[in-house]
């Protein structure tokens, strides 16, 4: 039996202009030999992305024996961003590639570099809520790769049960739980700053709380009328990270721990709570399959329990560069990805981290418990908000370094917010946004 996801994503897209979280590098990891055409497919080098891509390649070639798909990889983070931009600039990009939707998509010059797929018949199967975050000048350029996910807190349910804790709906309750976890000798809040991108979730995952407090924040931010350092709701993500750091609630090795080590800590109960993207569930499923259903999810809490909401992320897109010599075959591969067969292939390759944004695609009943925790928030528009990156094209490249400084107490929350306000200026000016020059 499949878990049905109510199709209420459309409200998320209202006013969406652009963006995606930079979780972004290259070596082949699988190619089919044989006659016919071979197309290349570049994805980020996370285990989950590679597993899903390899299964897509296998299933697509089984259905289309005359087309082989060679899966290649790139780094994540800023190195991956640079790889994408360099390959597009030099005409050396793969025939099909996976990259962020939203603001980072806007930064790769889609109108000049990518093949528009607006009028392709298979786009009718793609959720209307996804299309705005891969649209430039009214042209759509991608199909979704994987499911939607969220910036939230993954927690170990066994630790919570052992200590008699309830899921917190306010920041005060979260801090109280964390102090009790610390008293029990367990790391309350997992942080993994060796992989700097993971440091951003206190800020990025808090945006649903910002949107509840100030519904016009995204528009004001885009127009240079609102700032993190001076807005009382927006700065709270930085303040929460600072508060947790000062209280000594992080794992002892937080400054050098890797993302994978964080996942292992959470799965094994050595750490109780991990503010992270819920795409992490696929990583836990791969490395700690027996513990996957020990993990639950709750939104990063704010001040008001009655407005407890989840910050959601749209999936990456799969794009075709104009430099491809196999556009027809690449479009056929895109069509496969945007089909129920494509969703099923991805599910087979990697545990889904959230609902698919493709018609007729469902989650299996075996979907992790934390994914099921997400569904009530996804299915009720009043209980979620897109991350700011999907409502505004303004995103600075250095947030992950700034949040590391705040988390390691090298910078105060106020200083971090001010640094980020400065960081976004250059990007906004490059995009020629009104009010920034």
| Burial (CB count <10 Å: 0-12, 13-18, 19+), residue 366 | middle
Cα separation, 200 vs 120, in Å, equals 36
**Quick one: pLDDT at residue 381?**
78
- Over the chain (437 residues), the average pLDDT of each successive run of 10 is 39 38 39 70 93 97 97 92 96 97 90 97 91 93 94 98 98 98 98 97 97 96 97 98 98 98 98 96 90 97 94 94 98 98 94 85 87 86 89 90 98 98 91 90
Cα separation, 155 vs 346, in Å, equals 25
Residue 295: which of 276, 273, 270 has the closest Cα?
273
Cβ count within 10 A of residue 120: 16
**Quick one: pLDDT at residue 48?**
86
80 neighbors 44 (Cβ within 8 angstroms) = yes
Count of helix runs (H) and strand runs (E) in the chain? 17, 16
**Quick one: pLDDT at residue 128?**
85
**Quick one: pLDDT at residue 35?**
56
Residue 274: which of 257, 286, 287 has the closest Cα?
257
276 neighbors 189 (Cβ within 8 angstroms) = no
């Amino acid at each position: 039996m499949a878990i049905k996801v109510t199709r209420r994503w459309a409200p998320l897209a209202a006013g969406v202009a652009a963006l995606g979280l930079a979780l972004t590098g290259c070596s082949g990891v699988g190619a089919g030999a044989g006659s016919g055409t071979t197309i290349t497919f570049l994805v980020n080098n996370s285990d989950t992305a590679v597993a899903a891509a390899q299964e897509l390649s296998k299933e697509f070639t089984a259905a289309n024996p005359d087309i082989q798909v060679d899966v290649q990889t790139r780094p994540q983070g800023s190195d991956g961003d640079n790889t994408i931009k360099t390959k597009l600039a030099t005409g050396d990009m793969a025939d099909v590639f996976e990259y962020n939707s939203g603001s980072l998509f806007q930064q790769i010059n889609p109108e000049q570099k990518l093949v528009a797929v607006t009028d392709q018949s298979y786009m009718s199967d793609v959720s209307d809520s996804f299309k705005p975050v891969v649209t430039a000048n009214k042209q759509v350029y991608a199909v979704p790769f994987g499911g939607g996910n969220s910036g939230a807190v993954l927690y170990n349910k066994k630790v919570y049960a052992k200590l008699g804790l309830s899921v917190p709906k306010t920041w005060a309750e979260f801090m109280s739980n964390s102090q009790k976890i610390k008293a029990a000798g367990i790391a309350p809040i997992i942080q993994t700053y060796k992989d700097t991108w993971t440091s951003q979730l206190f800020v990025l995952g808090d945006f649903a709380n910002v949107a509840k407090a100030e519904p016009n924040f995204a528009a004001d931010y885009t127009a240079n009328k609102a700032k993190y350092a001076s807005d009382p709701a927006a700065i709270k993500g930085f303040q929460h990270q600072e508060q947790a750091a000062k209280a000594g609630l992080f794992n002892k090795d937080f400054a050098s721990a890797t993302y994978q080590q964080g996942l292992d800590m959470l799965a094994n109960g050595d750490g109780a709570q991990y503010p992270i993207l819920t795409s992490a569930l696929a990583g836990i499923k791969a490395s700690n399959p027996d513990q996957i259903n020990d993990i639950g999810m709750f939104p990063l809490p704010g001040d008001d329990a009655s407005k407890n909401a989840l910050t959601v992320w749209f999936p990456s897109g799969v794009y075709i560069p104009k430099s491809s010599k196999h556009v027809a075959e690449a479009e056929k591969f895109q069509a496969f990805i945007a089909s129920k067969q494509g969703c099923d292939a991805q599910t087979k390759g990697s545990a889904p981290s959230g609902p698919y944004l493709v018609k007729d695609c469902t989650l299996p009943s075996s979907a992790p418990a934390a994914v099921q925790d997400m569904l009530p928030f996804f299915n009720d528009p009043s209980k979620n908000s897109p991350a700011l990156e999907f409502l505004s094209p303004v995103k600075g490249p250095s947030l992950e370094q700034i949040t590391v400084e705040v988390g390691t107490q090298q910078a105060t929350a106020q200083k971090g917010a001010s640094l980020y306000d400065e960081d976004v200026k250059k990007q906004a000016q490059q995009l020629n946004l009104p009010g920034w020059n």
